[in-house]
Structure 1
Amino acid sequence: MAVARGKVLVVDDDEVIRQLIAVNLTLEGFQVETATDGEDCLDRVIEVMPDVVTLDVMMPCLDGWVTAERLRSDEATNHIKIVLITARAQEDDRRRGRSIGVDAYLTKPFDPSELISVVKRLAETAQAN
């Protein structure tokens, strides 16, 4: 049995990617919850109170940029670590992520072992604070 590593909320409108991320993190001992878009994320984040949110950028209803901004602007959620996962790899996008205050930025297609490494590091940092 894997050691509990913390809670992660996986947010992606693509069910295949959402499940891929969730399965990989579950196998590493994380408690994983999922959300289908930014609105679903904001509805669930307080009840889940994850250490880390993995957040797709391009989603219907509420995109990852706005979702990250709202997480950062709310005192109840501004401490949660955010990993943006997106096909958008331009430097302007990375700069925008930094300006919002996201903690990590992974581009699709991503290496699952890199994702796990990033989430582990952020979860350990979150739990140490």
Structure 2
Amino acid sequence: MVRVLAVDDDPTILRLLQVNLEMEGHDVLTADNGSAALDTIRAERPEVVLLDVMMPEMDGFAVCEQVRADPDIARTPIVFVSARAQQADLDRGYAIGGDAYITKPFDPVDLLETIERLAAGRR
């Protein structure tokens, strides 16, 4: 079981992520904006964060930058899950410290494999 934080401002996608991951036996936390994501990461210490890029208030890139700048949570694996699929977006995601970048629509099997690989690397 992996403790995963799914962050997306689209409630349908958030629910889809939650249901699919819970069906695979994972413990899923959710947040619908960047500020809530940061609070949850600091309080709950998820093993992997699934982070949408385009969100109101604070986008996923800004969340990632703040996580990487905080020594207490800097090693938290971050997987961008975004409809932004331009090479420049992927390059930026990796440049600021993302561990993986999966574009929507995503293959659930690929997502699960990525989560499990990153969680295993932390143990």
Q: Do these two structures clear the TM 0.5 threshold for a shared fold by scoring above it?
A: yes
Provide the TM-score with structure 2 as the length reference: 0.96
1:24-81 deviation per Cα after TM superposition (whole angstroms, max 9, x unaligned)? 1111111110001101101111221001000000000100000010011101111100
The reply on whether 1:100 has 2:93 as its aligned counterpart is no
Counterpart for residue 91 of structure 1: 87
Could you tell me how far 1:8 is from its partner in structure 2? 0.5
Counterpart for residue 21 of structure 2: 25
Q: Alignment identity in percent?
A: 46
Give yes or no for contact 1:53–1:83 (8 Å, CA) kept in 2: yes
Counterpart for residue 12 of structure 1: 8
The whole-number CA distance in structure 1 between the counterparts of 2:116 and 2:2 is 9
Choose the corresponding residue for 1:81, options 77, 81, 89: 77
Counterpart for residue 50 of structure 1: 46
1:7-33 deviation per Cα after TM superposition (whole angstroms, max 9, x unaligned)? 111000001100111111111111110
Q: Which amino acid aligns with 1:47?
A: A
Give yes or no for contact 1:9–1:48 (8 Å, CA) kept in 2: no
Residue correspondences, number: 123
Provide the TM-score with structure 1 as the length reference: 0.92
Q: Which amino acid aligns with 2:71?
A: E
Query: What are structure 1's unaligned runs of at least 5 residues?
Result: none
How do 1:114-129 and structure 2 match up within 5 A? Answer: 114-126=110-122, 128=123
Query: What are structure 2's unaligned runs of at least 5 residues?
Result: none
